[in-house]
Amino acid sequence: MSLFQITKSVITQVPETRNELWNKWKAAFKWIYQNELDNFDYFLRADDDSYFAMENLRNFLLTFNKSEDLYFGARFKFKNVSKGYMSGGAGVILTKNAIKKLVENFDNFNICPQKSDENDDLSLGICAQNLNFTFVDTRDNLGRHRMLPWSPSTHFIKGLDKEQFQYLYYPYNQNLENRYECCAKDMISFHYVFGKMLYMMEFLIYHSNTSNEFDGNNR
């Protein structure tokens, strides 16, 4: 896996509206196809309120064959799409080969939705299903979710409501006695981590330590 870092931003010529999100996804993938496809094994698409533990993501990806057409994320159900789709907020990861096939089929109406106002993450799921991509189960061996489509406070404090449960493709353990059982210890991502909360997450994960020693004589 390449550790090369892209330090520049790319501005797409797509209007900044929700109705254009699918077009923005396609423009971004086309830019990758034309400029960076051979520099990386995997590509990550995320929102500006997504939080990632990149080390956990890299370790997870190392267990897969990067030459296959792989599609990773927090998997949601949808009534007319049998394989469902990956929720955009928790992030979507695609292999290089998957990106290549996507871009080469974006204009094929038998493969991908063509309307600009189509639901963006669902549209990608439809393309992925029609191209026979592997929809990767990103949960751990205990069934705990690594890629979390809602905020940390929703998963650990408030809990998922009935409507949120209906979205999930896989079972979700909402144990009110032990709320941490929902989520894998090698968590990869959360969604709805806004503004200053991003800095708090960064501090708690990377800059805060717990002591391994305790002297009972010190009170």
For residue 216, the one-letter residue type is G
Q: Round the CA-based radius of gyration of the chain to a whole number and report it.
A: 19
Q: Is residue 160 part of a domain?
A: yes
Q: Is residue 6 part of a domain?
A: no
Q: Is residue 59 part of a domain?
A: yes
Q: Which two tokens stand for residue 145?
A: 């979710």
* Residue-level pLDDT at 179: 78
Range of the domain at 167: 15-207
Phi, psi (5° rounding) for residue 151?
A: -75, 160
Burial class (CB in 10 A: 0-12, 13-18, 19+), 88: buried
194: CATH: 3.90.550
Query: 188, 60 in Cβ contact below 8 A?
Result: yes
* Residue-level pLDDT at 16: 74
**For the chain, how many structural domains are there in total?**
1
**Tell me: the pLDDT tens digits for 159-217?**
888 889 999 999 898 876 777 888 999 999 999 999 899 999 999 989 988 777 656 56
Q: Is residue 161 part of a domain?
A: yes
Q: Is residue 7 part of a domain?
A: no
Q: Is residue 3 part of a domain?
A: no
Could you write out the DSSP letters of every residue in 32-94? HHHHTGGG-SEEEE--TT-EE-HHHHHHHHTTS-TTS-EEESEEEEETTEEEEEEESTT-EEE
* Residue-level pLDDT at 116: 78
Q: Is residue 24 part of a domain?
A: yes
Determine the average pLDDT of the residues in 16-43.
89
* CA neighbor of 46 nearest in space, from 59, 35, 57: 57
Measure the CA–CA gap between 186 and 59, rounded to whole angstroms.
Answer: 9
**3-state DSSP assignment of residue 193:** coil
Q: At what angle do helices 96-105 and 21-35 cross, to 10 degrees?
A: 120
**Tell me: the pLDDT tens digits for 106-152?**
999 999 999 877 789 999 999 999 999 999 999 999 999 999 999 99
* CA neighbor of 129 nearest in space, from 114, 107, 111, 113: 111
**Tell me: the pLDDT tens digits for 13-25?**
776 777 788 888 9
pTM, rounded to two decimals: 0.88
Q: At what angle do helices 96-105 and 120-130 cross, to 10 degrees?
A: 100
Q: Is residue 215 part of a domain?
A: no
